[in-house]
Chains A and B, each alone.
Chain A
Amino acid sequence: MSSELTIKEDNYNLLVDFFYCISDSFKVSSLKCGGKNDYHFMLAEHQVVISTAGKNLQLALLNPFYHLPTGVDRANEILEICVWDEKESGVKLPTIPWQWPEAKNIDSVLQFTLKNYSVVFSEGQSVFFIYDSTLNKAIVCIKDVNSLPNYFLSQPFFRIFKLWSKRVDLNILHAGCIANDKHAVLLVGRGGLGKSTSSIQCLISGLNYISDDYVLVSIGSNIPMAYSMYSSGKLNANNLKNFPKLENIAFSGKHDFENKPVLYLNKLFKKQIIYKSPIKAIVTPNITLSKNTSYTSISAFEGLKALAPSTLIQLNLGDMEDFSKIAYLVRNTPCYRLDLGSDYTTIAPAITNILNSL
C-alpha cells in the first residue's frame, strides 16, 4: 500500500514539473511564430481564451467558434487553451517523463488523470495535451496542423471541453439541437440514424441551429439549457449531394478518414446559428421507407435508451453520475420519435410542428 502511494506521489511531481516545462515550450514556440494570438469567446456562459503560437493555427482551428459571443469578461474564470504546432515552430513536445502502455493501434487514445492533471494523447498520436483543472488551463502540442483529421478540425479541442465541462457542472450530450425563436429540441440517437441530416435540413429550411452532433447542456437548472459549441457540421460525402447549397462551404481536407467533409455553416447561416436555447423536447430520428416525415410521442424510457448509450458509451462522454443527470433530463422532457421520410423537405415542417406544440 505504501509503495503504491509513493508511486502516485512520484508521478504527481513529474506532472507538476512537466506542466511547467510544456508551458515554457509554448512560450518559446510563440516567440518563434511571431507572437501569441488570443481569441476570447463565451461558451455556455463561461469565458474561454484560445491562445495560439502564431496566426496560422488561428486560421486553421478557430473557424467553428466564430459564431459564439466574443469579448473579455475579467469577472469570470477563464478556461485557457494554449496551442502550438511542432512543425511550424520547430519546438518539439518535451520528453514525456513516463511510459505509455503499448496501444494496439495508433488510433488508440491514451489518457490518464492524476489529481488536478489530465493528460491525453490522441488523433493518431498527433495531438498531445495536459489540462490542469486547478489552473483551468490546457497546453496543447499539435504535431502538424495540416495533418489533422477532419473530425478534429470540425470539433477542435473537444477532449479538453469534455474535461472542463465536469468542472463547470455542464454535460456534453451526443445530440443535434434545433430551435425556433422560443425553445429547442434535442435530436438524439447513435450515429447513422439521421441526426446530422435532420439538423442541417432544418437549418436550410430556416430554423435556428445549435448543433448537429455535440451540445453542451445545463441539466440542473430549472429549465435545461442547450448551448452551442461548434458552428461546424459534418455530412457523409454521398449525402452532401442532396444539399447542393452546401457544397461550396464543404471542406474535405487531406485526412477525411470518415469520408465526411466539414461544413463551416456560419459562412452561410450566420444569423441562424444561435448561442443557446431552452430544451423543451427530445426527438429520436428513425430512418423509414416512407416518403414523408412524421412524428409520434414515445416513452421516457425509449428516449433514455436513445440518448444515454450513445452519449455515455459511443462517445465516452460521462460516468455514472452523468447517467443519472441524463435520466433526470429525460424524465422531465417530452420525447418523440421522428420517422424520417425520403423527402428531406418534410423533416423541418415536422420538427416545426413539434416545436410549436410545446
Chain B
Amino acid sequence: MFYKINEPDVSSESFDGEVLAINLKTGNYYSLRGSAAVIFKLLISGNSADDIVSTLVNFYSTSEKIMLTDLTVFIDLLLDNKLIKESSLYAKTIDSKLFNSVTKEYKKPILESYTDMQDLLLIDPIHEVDINSGWPNKIPNSKTDSK
C-alpha cells in the first residue's frame, strides 16, 4: 500500500525535524514529533511501508518488529485524521537529506493533534459552493430583474 498527502484539504511544512500539518476541512492541526516527521515525509513521497521500515532500521538502532508495529499504528492514525490517503503511485525515493537533522536515537512517532480552532470555525461557517457538482443551481427560466 502507498500513500499521499490528503490534498487539497491538507498541507504540511517541515521545520528542524518537526512537521506542522493543517487540515483546512476539519479545522484541526497537528504536530508530528519523534520519528513521525521523517516517517511522514517518506510516506507522502510514495514509499511503501516495507521501504520505510528497512530504511529506518538501518538508521535507528531499533528492531524491525518494533518499527513495523509503530509504523502500522502511526499510518492508521494518519488515515483516521485524514492527513493521508491511499495512492496507487509507488515511488521509492529515499532522500538521505531527510535524516540531516534527525538524531540517531529512536523515538516513537507521535501525532499531537490540536482541535482548539474547531469551535472558532463554527462561529462563522462558510459554505463554499461546489461548482463541479453543478452548483449553484440555475433557477429555471430565471431573469435578472428586480425582486
Point out residues on A near B: beta carbons under 8 Å: 4, 7-8, 10-11, 14, 17-18, 21, 25, 92-95, 97-101, 103-105, 107-114, 190-191, 299-301, 304-305, 308-310, 312-314, 316, 319-320, 323-324, 327, 331
CA distance A185 to B64 in the complex (A): 48
Residues of A within 8 A of B95 (CB): none
Residues of B within 8 A of A107 (CB): 123-125
Q: A191-B120, A308-B22 are in contact. Are A97 and B125 (CB under 8 A)?
A: no
Residues of B within 8 A of A304 (CB): 13, 15, 20
Point out residues on B near A: beta carbons under 8 Å: 7-8, 11, 13, 15-16, 18, 20, 22, 24, 27, 29, 31, 114, 116-117, 120-121, 123-129, 131-132, 134-139, 142-147
Q: How far is the CB of B28 from chain A (nearest CB, A)?
A: 8
Q: Is the CB of B117 within 8 A of A8?
A: no
Q: Is the CB of A98 within 8 A of B15?
A: no
Residues of B within 8 A of A319 (CB): 8, 24
Q: Is the CB of B124 within 8 A of A109?
A: yes
Q: How far is the CB of A91 from chain B (nearest CB, A)?
A: 8
Q: A97-B138, A110-B127, A314-B120 are in contact. Are A320 and B15 (CB under 8 A)?
A: no
Q: How far is the CB of B126 from chain A (nearest CB, A)?
A: 5
Q: Is the CB of B15 within 8 A of A301?
A: yes
Q: How far is the CB of A275 from chain B (nearest CB, A)?
A: 28
Q: Which residue on chain A has the smallest CB distance to residue B33? A: A301
Q: Is the CB of A312 within 8 A of B24?
A: yes
Q: Is the CB of B114 within 8 A of A309?
A: yes
Q: Is the CB of B11 within 8 A of A95?
A: no
Q: Which residue on chain A has the smallest CB distance to residue B114? A: A309
CA distance A113 to B128 in the complex (A): 9
Q: Is the CB of B134 within 8 A of A190?
A: no
Q: Is the CB of A305 within 8 A of B147?
A: no
Q: Is the CB of B16 within 8 A of A299?
A: yes
Q: Is the CB of B24 within 8 A of A111?
A: no
Q: Is the CB of A309 within 8 A of B117?
A: yes
Q: Is the CB of A112 within 8 A of B124?
A: no
CA distance A113 to B27 in the complex (A): 21
Q: Is the CB of A109 within 8 A of B125?
A: yes
Q: Is the CB of A320 within 8 A of B125?
A: no
Enumerate 25 A-B pairs (CB-CB under 8 Å) in ascending A order: A93-B147, A94-B144, A94-B146, A95-B145, A95-B146, A98-B137, A98-B138, A99-B137, A101-B129, A107-B124, A112-B128, A112-B129, A300-B15, A301-B16, A301-B20, A301-B31, A304-B20, A309-B22, A310-B117, A313-B22, A313-B27, A313-B120, A319-B24, A323-B11, A327-B15
Residues of A within 8 A of B22 (CB): 308-309, 312-313, 323
Q: Is the CB of B11 within 8 A of A331?
A: no
Q: Is the CB of A111 within 8 A of B27?
A: no
CA distance A312 to B134 in the complex (A): 27
